[in-house]
Amino acid sequence: MNKKKELLISLLKNKLGADFLTEEPASPDRLFVDIKKEALRPVVQLLLEQGGRYQVGVGYDARRNGQGFALLHTFAFDRDGLLVAVRTFSPEDNPEFDSITPIVPGAGWSEREYRDLLGLNFKGHPNPKRLVLADDWPDGIYPLRKDVPHDLMPPSAEEVAFRLDQAPAGTSVVPFGPFHSSLHEPAHFSVYVDGEDIKGCEYRGFMTHRGIEKLGQTELTYNDVPFVAERICGICGSVHSTNYAQAVEAAAGLKISRRAEFIRVVMLELERLHSHLLWLGVAGHLIGFDTVFMQAWRIREKIMWLAESLTGNRKTYGMIIIGGVRRNITSEKTEDIRKVMREVEKETMALEKAIVKDKTIHKRTKGVGYLSKEETVKWNLVGPVARARGLDIDVRRDHPYAAYDELEFDVPVTDSGDVWGTLVVRLKEIYEAIKIIRQSLDKLAQLPESEPLALELEGPIPAGKQGLSVVEAPRGEAVHYVLTGEENRPERWRVRAPTYPNLQAVPQMLVNNKLADFPIIVGSIDPCISCTDRVLLVDLREKKARIVSKQQLEKMSRQVRFGR
């Protein structure tokens, strides 16, 4: 047994006594425990004192099993290679839990989310405002409850203003979004300024929430979900499909072939390459340096063509399934990959030399968006944003999955705490990704061709099993939790993308910076926000433009297709 796991079980049982309910048998690097809800805060405090890093909260409707509503909080013990999930329940007639936000600020969004989606109450939460649901959403309808259909369409309400906090005295409000030239996806930032100096900010998002988790427990089967998971993010398709597949495989006790694991690594690192190059180009564009934008995206295009040759698609590859992968990487494809890696490495080095010596880039990034290491830990930041602030975490190394346990690579870390540090980390990670891909190809060549690409489960997955998986996305740690269910689908599937914790710290990154630095500070975390479900319709004949709602667009499509 993992020594840390053994210690935690002993400490929890001694501290809680009768409040410690059960421990679920799992792999050596996972610990699932159930406790009474009165013990939640003491347990969280104990896990923090033992070096736990908060990840995410998970809530679900357990009334069908007579358990009321369930709430989990997950923690990572990075130096011990251990993930811990603590679960508790509250009765249906009083769905209330103690808030842990006062001791874990990064838990604030998770609790607000389940206040919106499940109707849970969190005693002591410092800011119990709506988070996911719009301000015009009807009271008493909680979308993640079992008795609410997945296709519920509440009455529409146009032109509803945000219910925002009062701006601090002596400041003015500058709104950015929901649609703004500095934002690539819909979000709203109310920035409080004193002259050109930023003094605070309030964020509102989730305007185009797609209900993917609800679909996962109502409409999709286990094998459908990987292809939907791949569409959660426009960049990290393999990240989310791999993450989900790993969670189900862990719950089902399925160990996939080593060949499939190395192929997963190659796909994940190709995504890291094209994501970091995309971000580098966007960052150049946000500070008005479009030469960087054009050169980075020119290099990135080689990765996109390579991905299409391997999978048939530039994006949404469809490679990852439960039990393995769908396609092999042949010896011919291996040589194509090596050739592209040589070209990308050489051309990125030339671009890096131009960037690191450019005084304009230094002035626009050094000292901008500063956040201390202590604040980084407090807000549970992940990925390059955290590593640029001195936090040495990377789940590929700390919680190895796929075939990363057999690969050698460095984790770039800087302590500048600003946008420049984030840029440096991402540049260095490009070379590490190339190193990992080359090693993976070498390892694949040593494996027997007879190894299966995918394994099938023998019989149905038992209900009530828990799976917890992490994958290091280009933006940072992504977390997937799966609770197996009946009818060949998950009872609960929870996704936490890396942007979820990182966005919570953006207001702190903005404080005491200039308003002109807003785009690059927000852009430095590479925020991934769901695509909008509204469109701009342009009538070329009348030379007019208007916003069209989803319902209007659907009606128009029927008129065109069916002539009605």
**Structure confidence at residue 546 (pLDDT):** 45
pLDDT tens readout for residues 511-534 = 999 999 999 999 999 887 643 333
Helix ranges, 411-543 (H): 419-446, 499-504, 506-510, 518-524
Rounded mean pLDDT, 160-175:
84
Give 76-79 contacts, CB < 8 A, sequence gap 24+: 76/52, 76/395, 76/398, 76/399, 76/470, 76/477, 77/4, 77/50, 77/51, 77/52, 77/53, 78/53, 78/393, 78/395, 78/398, 78/399, 79/51, 79/398
DSSP structural state of residue 547: E
CA dist 281 and 275 (Å) reads 10
CA dist 427 and 148 (Å) reads 46
Q: How many other CB atoms are there within 10 angstroms of residue 445's CB atom? A: 11
Structure-block tokens of residue 420: 């420049």
Mean predicted lDDT score pLDDT of the chain: 90
**Structure confidence at residue 559 (pLDDT):** 53
Instruction: Pick the more confident residue, 223 or 541.
Output: 223
60, β-bridge pairs? 70
pLDDT confidence bin for 300, thresholds 50/70/90: very high
Amino acid at 16: L
CA dist 20 and 17 (Å) reads 6
Ordered by start, the domain boundaries in the chain are 3-148, 212-524, 535-564
Rounded mean pLDDT, 84-98:
96
pLDDT confidence bin for 540, thresholds 50/70/90: very low
Non-local (6+) Cβ contacts of 146 within 8 A are 61, 63, 64
**Structure confidence at residue 152 (pLDDT):** 85
Non-local (6+) Cβ contacts of 195 within 8 A are none
Structure-block tokens of residue 469: 């998986």
Cα distance from N-terminal residue to C-terminal residue, the chain: 66
Helix ranges, 357-466 (H): 359-365, 373-378, 383-387, 395-398, 419-446
Q: b vs e for 473-487, b when ≥16 Cβ sit within 10 Å of the residue's Cβ? A: bbbbbbbbbbbbbee
DSSP structural state of residue 325: E
CA dist 386 and 409 (Å) reads 18
Rounded mean pLDDT, 384-388:
98
Lowest mean pLDDT segment, chosen from 48-62, 204-218, 246-260: 204-218
The matching CATH number, chosen from 2.60.40.3140, 1.10.645.10, 3.40.50.2300, 3.30.9.10, for 212-524 is 1.10.645.10
**Structure confidence at residue 208 (pLDDT):** 74
Non-local (6+) Cβ contacts of 415 within 8 A are 373, 389, 390, 421
**Structure confidence at residue 537 (pLDDT):** 38
Lowest mean pLDDT segment, chosen from 206-210, 248-252, 407-411: 206-210
Q: What is the SS3 assignment for 86?
A: strand
Rounded mean pLDDT, 197-221:
87
- Is the preceding peptide bond at 168 cis, omega within 30 degrees of 0? no
Q: b vs e for 165-194, b when ≥16 Cβ sit within 10 Å of the residue's Cβ? A: eebeeebeeeebbbeeeebbbbbbbbbbbe
- Phi then psi for residue 553, to 5 deg, are -65, -40
pLDDT tens readout for residues 407-446 = 999 999 999 999 999 999 999 999 999 999 999 999 999 9
Torsion of CA 367, 373, 379, 382, to 10 degrees: 90
Q: What is the SS3 assignment for 72?
A: strand
pTM: 0.91
pLDDT tens readout for residues 342-359 = 999 999 999 999 998 899
Instruction: Pick the more confident residue, 4 or 535.
Output: 4
**Structure confidence at residue 415 (pLDDT):** 95
Structure-block tokens of residue 534: 């509204």
* Most confident of the ranges 118-127, 310-319, 534-543: 118-127
pLDDT of 85 over the 90 cut: yes
Q: Do domains 3-148 and 212-524 have the same CATH topology?
A: no
Residue closest to 56 by CA, chosen among 490, 426, 476: 476
**Structure confidence at residue 133 (pLDDT):** 87
**Structure confidence at residue 564 (pLDDT):** 43
**How many C-alpha atoms does 113 have within 13 Å on its Cβ side?**
22
| SS (HEC) of 19-35 | HEEEEECCCCCEEEEEE
pLDDT confidence bin for 557, thresholds 50/70/90: very low
CA dist 431 and 435 (Å) reads 6
Rounded mean pLDDT, 102-110:
96
pLDDT of 398 over the 90 cut: yes
CA dist 501 and 508 (Å) reads 13
Residue closest to 175 by CA, chosen among 165, 162, 188, 184: 188
**Structure confidence at residue 562 (pLDDT):** 45
CB 21 within 8 A of CB 348: no
pLDDT tens readout for residues 20-78 = 999 998 889 999 999 999 999 999 999 999 999 999 999 999 999 999 999 999 999 99
pLDDT tens readout for residues 442-485 = 999 999 988 999 998 888 899 999 999 999 999 999 999 999 99
Rounded mean pLDDT, 247-264:
96
**Structure confidence at residue 552 (pLDDT):** 52
Rounded mean pLDDT, 112-124:
96
Instruction: Indicate the length of the chain as a whole number.
Output: 564
Rounded mean pLDDT, 191-219:
88
pLDDT tens readout for residues 440-453 = 999 999 999 889 99
Classify burial at 547, counting beta carbons within 10 Å of its beta carbon; exposed 0-12, middle 13-18, buried 19 or more. exposed
**CATH fold of 3-148, please?**
Beta Polymerase; domain 2 (3.30.460)
**Structure confidence at residue 534 (pLDDT):** 30
**Structure confidence at residue 459 (pLDDT):** 82
* Most confident of the ranges 210-224, 234-248, 402-416: 402-416
Structure-block tokens of residue 32: 């699932």
Q: What is the SS3 assignment for 139?
A: coil
- Phi then psi for residue 29, to 5 deg, are -100, 15
CA dist 317 and 452 (Å) reads 19
- Pairing mode, if any, of strands 535-539 and 53-61? unpaired
Share of the chain above pLDDT 90, in %: 75
CA dist 96 and 123 (Å) reads 7
Structure-block tokens of residue 11: 């400490």
pLDDT of 119 over the 90 cut: yes
pLDDT of 4 over the 90 cut: yes
